[in-house]
């Protein structure tokens, strides 16, 4: 299941994690976001060792601005509570899982 993060608990929740975390910035009135949320639900069920979150980009505009989110949905990878990279993969569980595994082999990028 995809948990919801807001601007008040975002950094605290991620800092408490030791493994990979996927964070999707989306909106309830975005069709692509609704589809990606279903994909994220499937990933959460398959990869129980990963944390999977969503942020409502409209409600939590401070986070949206902090991470320079300009299009929805946007998917970020965090590792051990630290920003790792923005993910760009087809919205299918297998594609996103493969992209995460490849991204974790590369050095972390600087947070936006």
- 20-71 residue pLDDT tens: 999 999 999 999 999 999 999 999 999 999 999 999 999 999 999 999 999 9
- Residue 13 predicted with pLDDT over 90: yes
Tokens of 96: 């996103």
Quote the pTM value.
0.95
Distance CA(1)–CA(8), nearest Å, equals: 21
- Determine the length of the chain: 112
Q: Cα dihedral sign for 11, 54, 30, 39?
A: positive
Where does the pLDDT of residue 1 fall: very low under 50, low under 70, confident under 90, or very high at 90 and above? confident
List, in order, residues 6 or more apart from 104 with CB less than 8 Å away: 20, 77, 79, 84
The domain 18-103: what is its CATH number? 3.40.30.10
Q: State residue 3's pLDDT score.
A: 93
Pairing mode, if any, of strands 3-4 and 51-56? parallel
DSSP, res 23: E
CB-CB neighbours of 70 under 10 Å: 8
Distance CA(73)–CA(80), nearest Å, equals: 23
1 or 56, higher pLDDT = 56
Average pLDDT, rounded, for the chain = 96
Distance CA(110)–CA(22), nearest Å, equals: 16
């Amino acid at each position: 299941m995809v948990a919801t993060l807001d601007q008040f608990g975002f950094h605290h929740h991620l800092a408490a994690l030791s493994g990979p975390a996927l964070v999707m910035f989306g909106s309830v009135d975005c069709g692509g976001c609704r589809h990606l949320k279903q994909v994220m639900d499937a990933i959460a069920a398959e990869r129980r060792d990963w944390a999977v979150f969503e942020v409502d980009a409209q409600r939590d505009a401070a986070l949206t601005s902090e991470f320079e989110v300009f299009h929805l949905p946007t998917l970020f990878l965090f590792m051990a509570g630290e920003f790792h990279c923005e993910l760009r993969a087809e919205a299918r569980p297998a594609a996103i899982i493969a992209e995460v595994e490849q991204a974790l082999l590369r050095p972390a990028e600087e947070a936006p």
